[in-house]
Structure 1
Amino acid sequence: MDAIKALNDLMAAYRKNITLHNATIVDHLKKFDAKLSLLEIKSNNLWQMKVELRKDMDWWIHQFIMPAQADYDVASVDIFNIPDEFHEDALNIVMNIGNQIGYPVSPKMIQDIYSETLRRKNTNEFPWSKTLVVRFRKVTYKWEFLRAYRKFITILINAGSAERRKIPKRHNHIQVQHVVSHVGMRDKTPNERYRYIFLDDHIGPFVRRLYRQVSKHCEAHSIPYLWVNNSKIYVRKKKSDPAIRIKKLSHMHMIKSLFKKYTKHRED
């Protein structure tokens, strides 16, 4: 009997301990659930703050940064596909290309020059290349430089040589060998991966990002005319339609209505 009583007392003690442990576990679970709920609330608040900050950042970009960038880039030109292994002085490259195309460029005409190294998607054709961004002191210098370049290219195209017929279907390009002796690149173009240098109106990083988004939207909605002029993006449905300037990402979703709304070219 004493043994049975002792066993019952032991079982009762175990049950009491288990009850206490269960109560403790339940209490911890309640506290954990409360903290989890608090974390979820904070997470939602942080997400909302992130959304608001993104909106604010986009607003600042489009209200201040993009206009300032466009004003800064309005007199700039991109010189694409300079082979990265050639380390010729950037000013000499610009001046020598100017001499080659018949538009001499002096250092006094240039405000700034800097380079960007770009990674090409087609690594077999253009592994690494350098883009020179040339900012002229006047917009007129930029357009005179580009007009001389395009005139130079037109003359080459009209020459109609067999070599010219191999050139890709792009109007604004110049063969590296045409500027080899002048630019100082030396006559080294392995597997012709750097044969063509391209010049075009400069597009800053924010405008470039917007341009890519608008380009996808235009392709999806069969809008064939999309271009950049003085770091400003324009679209047009038909040749006879007014040119519409796209200033914000939100304009991508209003392109169709914009064509109906605008009756004349706006460049505000």
Structure 2
Amino acid sequence: MPRDSFCIQYTNCTGCPKNVENILVYRNLPKGEHIPKDKCTQNCMLFMIKGELLINSEEHPGITLRERQIVLQAIGSKVEILALTDVEYVVYWFNELPLLCEDRYKEMMEQAEAPLTYTPLIMSERLYHLVTSMPEFLAEENPCSKYIDLKCKELVFLITNFYPLPQLGSFFYPISTYTESFHYFVMQNYSNVKNVEEFAHLGGYTTTTFRRLFKNLYGVPVYEWILEKKREGILEDLQHTKMRITEICNRYGFDSLSHFAHFCKDSFGDTPRALRKKAAGGEKIGKVQ
């Protein structure tokens, strides 16, 4: 029986220039599967379809997610996951929400405020029906990205237009601080640049303008802020991941292992391998005072 074809523009979906984008991901984890704490490189929403999933992050410290629940994690947040049972869920990765109604989005963000305790959003029947229909087409070898884009818009529409504004304001609060383009640009790219000049050029700013904007928004010089963020990330990776030293070195933009080792000695008092060995032995590692 011939396979159904969704795409009339491309005869071969592997030739589609957008088919590599993984903005919607279906995951099926067995009981006991552990995903170590890692930093979100984009905003993401996690939609539980089946089972119980322990999630640990600053916003959701050690909470158990169950069927029909949704949580939101902002870019830059660190998330750890443990499957308490066999689980199924869908993750939606995004930089900015697709806006079908700008007035509704603006009103929602104006009411965004930090809740006393973050709680998962519960899927409505329509939203749950949409989410549970996704695994089938996401499991295809080359799912059509244009079709996925439409599903993402439908997903966001069913969330932003069918829940009370106060509830939406609390749910979307974690990303409300990144709605300004400069904030968002910084959070997306700081770990990939080697110096201030490269950072400024990447955003299309002169170095002087970039330094001034950054200092006004963050209150500290950009270079100091980048170094501090890199130190935080390196310590996290050395202590809580199994990434190789060379991977960590490359991840934070160092030219060589010797440069990386020198940075670690200055910042933490020892080489990366020695620091990892100390952490494995239960010793607390941290910045040199």
Q: TM-score, normalised by structure 2?
A: 0.25
Structure with the greater alpha carbon radius of gyration: 1
**Whose helix fraction is larger, Structure 1's or Structure 2's?**
1
